[in-house]
Amino acid sequence: MGTLTKVISGFGRRRTRLLLWAKYSTASVVATVLSQGAFALCYWFGTTALVASLVAWVTGTVPSYLINRRWTWGHRGPAGRDLLPYAIIVVTSAVLAAIVTTVTDRLVQDRVDSHVWQTVLVSGSYLGTYGVLFILKFVLFDRYVFANRAGSLPEDEAEPTAARTPAAR
């Protein structure tokens, strides 16, 4: 393979990775808006930080899984081997968020009188937890959960072997 071919091939892989990152980021924004809104509303109306975290997690996790599986990584058909590892990752994320928001809630209850600021601070801790986990979850989803068995491209972007290999004549 010539140097120019290697350079062009490298650009194609980088473009594919950037597109994958952009799709993952978009799916995360959708899930974040939904879950953050659910958390803030639940907490504002008096639910505990733990309950608000759980409601928010369910609200964001379902669309996140569906969007990421189908659109970001291009998996089609019924959920298969990806569901259990996905569930482990997102449940672990939810537990961490529940711990962080509960601790934050206990800290602000004694120190902040305004319910508005309590909501902002506890909601911020929920958002911050998922912000920290954003890159780690991308790596885990890409390498383990939605990894294609035959390659790293989404199924709808992968070329069949015959299309990549010049015909021997």
Q: Which pLDDT band holds residue 3 (cuts at 50, 70, 90)?
A: low
Q: What is the rounded average pLDDT of the residues 60-68?
A: 93
> Using CA atoms, how far apart are residues 35 and 57, in angstroms rounded to an integer?
6
Residue 39 CB coordination number (10 Å):
29
From residue 1, give the alpha-carbon distance in Å to each of 9, 14, 105, 165: 10, 18, 59, 12
pLDDT in tens, 6-63: 545 555 678 888 999 999 999 999 999 999 999 999 999 999 999 999 999 999 999 9
For the cut 80, the answer to whether the pLDDT of residue 84 exceeds it is yes
> Using CA atoms, how far apart are residues 52 and 43, in angstroms rounded to an integer?
6
Residue 29 CB coordination number (10 Å):
10
Q: By three-state DSSP, how is residue 134 classified?
A: helix
Which segments of 112-154 does DSSP mark as H helices, in order? 115-140
